[in-house]
Amino acid sequence: MPLDMIIGAQWGDEGKGRVTDMLAAQTDIVARYSGGDNAGHTVTVQGDIFKLHLIPSGIIHPNTTCLIGNGVVLNPAVLLREMAMLTDRGIDVGSARLKISRNTHLITPAHIALDKAKEARRGNDAIGTTLRGIGPAYTDKTSRIGLRAELFANPEELADQIQAHIAEKNEVLTKIYDAEPLDADAVAAEYAQFAQQLREHLVYGSVFLDAALKDGRSVLAEGAQGTFLDLDHGTYPFVTSSAPTSGGVLVGLGVGPRMVGRVIGIAKAFTSRVGSGPFPSELDGELAHRLRGTGDKPWDEYGTTTGRPRRVGWLDLVMLRHAVRINGLTELVLTKLDILSGLDEIRVCNAYQLDGETIDFYPSDIPSLSRCQAVYETHPGWQEDVMGVRELANLPQAAQDYIHFVAKEGGVPVTAVSVGPGRAQVVHL
Ligand code: IMP
């Protein structure tokens, strides 16, 4: 069986969790391959809302096994809280269902303290990180001084490495950032507890997936963040510290490209972004308020992890084509079409004006991108409520035209459109 991928085609928060949930019903294994608890996946099942940050959304389906892959950075405290929340709600998170790759890197309180200290030091130039320690944990990984989950199987080595790690970070925290040092003994004791609770979940992730695929089982790679937060292909430096793109799946799970089947991009029918950085099709005022929602519903445009209001704008097809190219998308799922209902007209950015020239590609440097002005095409809107629609033919003609336009200009077939937060509120094309 192939490995299918779910990839965010924008700046994250595209609704990947709900698409994972949709596909997980027919999938044996769902695996997270990058990021950490900076992600926030909201899944609504019969009115019940699940907010997950680390555990793959597939866990909600009883017959699915979940893997936290080697490309993830894992905060064990958050993982255990999430496991407890799911257990309370009757969901089995035992070691037969939830596995952790031994190569997964750990986030510690020192990474979180450093994330906060670095953001504070950046002042007005802050990235707007989620302050979850993601960047510092990946920095340690690439500096080859990270702590891996495999240490949970070796308590003495774990204790030694935590002591050395906290001692080194305390020097940086106190001498460079003038911040409070951490208590190494307390952190070591906490991580010894985590090791006891999580040890039995450890697997050799790549070996586990290889055996499953050879055995005819299906694997779904669940994306976190999105293409424009990719360390190499996003709006650097306003990005996360990992590779949420399809290349990151292979590295982050230890699976070769010959196993890949579908590469499913997820994009909202408009655009949103949390954190700083250029956003050519950004809206403000009444229209932005309208797209964002008031924040009283869990699917309104407020960060699942931080609660920050998201910046919102029209759909940007220049971005979408970039995502199709970088990821090799085989198809696209458009989410939140229902939010566009009731607008008189809908605009779509299909090119940029840069220094008097019209361009149809996404410039990779921030100074150029900051000077880009969105060039819009205007489409008629629709007034009907589409939340109850389940067939393409029953959508208003203007909504159908909008979907076909996105597929044609994006250069990728649209295979499904979500029209509401519920599991069933999907139109399959
Ligand atoms: P970090 O990943 O916490 O270091 O944050 C870096 C940037 O990525 C910030 O702009 C965050 O707001 C953004 N970011 C990280 N994870 C997500 C996500 O899951 N959805 C949307 N934005 C995210």
Task: In whole angstroms, give the CA distance from residue 33 to residue 223.
Answer: 7
7 Cα to the center of ligand 1, angstroms: 15
pLDDT mean values, one per 10 residues, the chain (429 residues): 95 92 92 96 83 93 96 98 96 97 98 98 93 98 98 98 98 98 98 98 98 97 96 96 98 97 98 92 94 80 84 97 98 97 97 97 93 97 97 98 98 97 92
Ligand 1 pocket member 15 (CB < 6 A): no
Residue of 28, 37, 41, 165 with catalytic role: 41
342 HSE (CA, 13 A, CB side)? 7
The residue whose two tokens read 């952190």 is: 187
Mutational test site, ligand 1, from 14, 41, 131, 274, max ligand atoms within 8 Å of CB: 274
Q: Atom of ligand 1 at shortest distance to CA of 308? A: 12
Residue of 4, 13, 37, 230 with catalytic role: 13
Q: Could you count the other beta carbons within 10 Å of the beta carbon of residue 408?
A: 12
Domains of the chain: 3-95+204-428 (3.90.170.10), 105-201 (1.10.300.10)
Ligand 1 pocket member 38 (CB < 6 A): yes
Question: What integer pLDDT is reported at residue 306 of this predicted model?
Answer: 79
Question: What integer pLDDT is reported at residue 293 of this predicted model?
Answer: 84
Question: What integer pLDDT is reported at residue 296 of this predicted model?
Answer: 73
Mutational test site, ligand 1, from 18, 20, 38, 305, max ligand atoms within 8 Å of CB: 38
Looking at ligand 1, which residue's alpha carbon is closest to its atom 1?
129
User: In this structure, are residues 36 and 74 in contact, taking their beta carbons and an 8 Å threshold?
Assistant: yes
Instruction: Identify the CA nearest to 297 among candidates 47, 21, 38, 39.
Output: 47
91 Cα to the center of ligand 1, angstroms: 28
Task: In whole angstroms, give the CA distance from residue 100 to residue 208.
Answer: 10
Task: In whole angstroms, give the CA distance from residue 355 to residue 205.
Answer: 48
Ligand 1 pocket member 274 (CB < 6 A): yes
Looking at ligand 1, which residue's alpha carbon is closest to its atom 16?
38
Let me know if 289 is a catalytic residue: no
User: In the predicted model, what is the mean pLDDT of the chain?
Assistant: 95
274 Cα to the center of ligand 1, angstroms: 7
The residue whose two tokens read 């959508």 is: 395
User: In this structure, are residues 246 and 60 in contact, taking their beta carbons and an 8 Å threshold?
Assistant: no
Ligand 1 pocket member 13 (CB < 6 A): yes
Ligand 1 pocket member 60 (CB < 6 A): no
Ligand 1 pocket member 64 (CB < 6 A): no
55-86 pLDDT, tens digit each:
999 999 999 999 999 999 999 999 999 999 99
User: In this structure, are residues 261 and 4 in contact, taking their beta carbons and an 8 Å threshold?
Assistant: yes
124 Cα to the center of ligand 1, angstroms: 17
The token pair at 78 is 């958050």
366 Cα to the center of ligand 1, angstroms: 17
Instruction: Identify the CA nearest to 316 among candidates 268, 249, 257.
Output: 268
Ligand 1 pocket member 311 (CB < 6 A): no
160-216 pLDDT, tens digit each:
999 999 999 999 999 999 999 999 999 999 999 999 999 999 999 999 999 999 999
Question: What integer pLDDT is reported at residue 301 of this predicted model?
Answer: 86
Looking at ligand 1, which residue's alpha carbon is closest to its atom 9?
129
Q: What is the pTM of this model?
A: 0.95
Ligand 1 pocket member 130 (CB < 6 A): yes
Ligand 1 pocket member 114 (CB < 6 A): no
Q: Atom of ligand 1 at shortest distance to CA of 277? A: 10
Ligand 1 pocket member 161 (CB < 6 A): no
* Long-range Cβ contacts of 111-117 (<8 Å, 24+ apart): 111/136, 111/137, 111/140, 111/169, 112/75, 112/136, 113/169, 113/173, 113/179, 113/180, 113/182, 114/169, 114/172, 114/173, 114/177, 116/179, 117/173, 117/177, 117/179
- Based on C-alpha coordinates, what's the Rg of the chain? 21
Give exposure, 130-155, as e/b (b: 16+ Cβ within 10 Å).
bbbbbbbbbbbbeeeebbbbbbbeee
Ligand 1 pocket member 235 (CB < 6 A): no
